[in-house]
Amino acid sequence: MVDRPDTTIARTDGQLWARGDEAAFAELYDRHAEAVWNHAYRLTASWATAEDLTSSTFLTAWRRRHEVTLVRDSALPWLFQVAGNLAHGEFRRRTRFRRLLRRVPVDDAVHDHADHVADSLDGDRRLRAVLRAVAMLPVSEREAVELVLIGELPVAEAAAVLGLAESSVRSRISRARSKLRLTVEETR
């Protein structure tokens, strides 16, 4: 008798994650790729970067699928955390790149028209200002903001991901909102 893979349809993320095969992972991707892309876009304000971060997030998930235990049977909080970590790495990389560009003589620099168009969009500019303000928050507050306010996770799920009580997450969000309000008002 030939052993056949389990062909039952898994309904929860936990069941799909436990299976760990390509078909299960493809279903997880179909289920959560749009949410991860939206989260990455909110963190970066860039469509292209959001696409890259979404791909990298799922590549990381595939590579680490045997090491990770899901919180509350949902892959989304963990995927958001990975996307956030990758976005911070991208932010640091871009910051280093901008510093390097400042050393290049202005006459030699070629300006990208796409960057000019993107920068002229008011919504993107405001989102970037908010993201800069979020990046300046203390790590504990920034993580809570990214998961709950930007990632739109319920406080309970964010608390589980961060290993904190829900009241601690709410408190961090409250402090962060006050700081963000002041920072954003100063930039207007």
CATH number among 3.40.50.150, 3.40.50.360, 1.10.1740.10, 3.40.190.10, domain 1-109: 1.10.1740.10
| Secondary-structure class of domain 121-188 per CATH | mainly alpha
How do the domains of the chain map onto residue ranges? 1-109, 121-188
Question: 71 has which bridge partners?
Answer: 74
Q: Measured between alpha carbons, how far is 180 from 154 in angstroms, rounded to an integer?
A: 20
Reported as a single tens digit per residue, the pLDDT across 41-97 is 988 888 888 999 999 999 999 999 888 878 788 899 999 999 998 988 888 887 777
Reported as a single tens digit per residue, the pLDDT across 136-157 is 888 888 888 888 888 888 888 8
- Please choose, from the candidates 76, 98, 84, 92, the residue with its C-alpha nearest in 3D space to the C-alpha of residue 41: 84
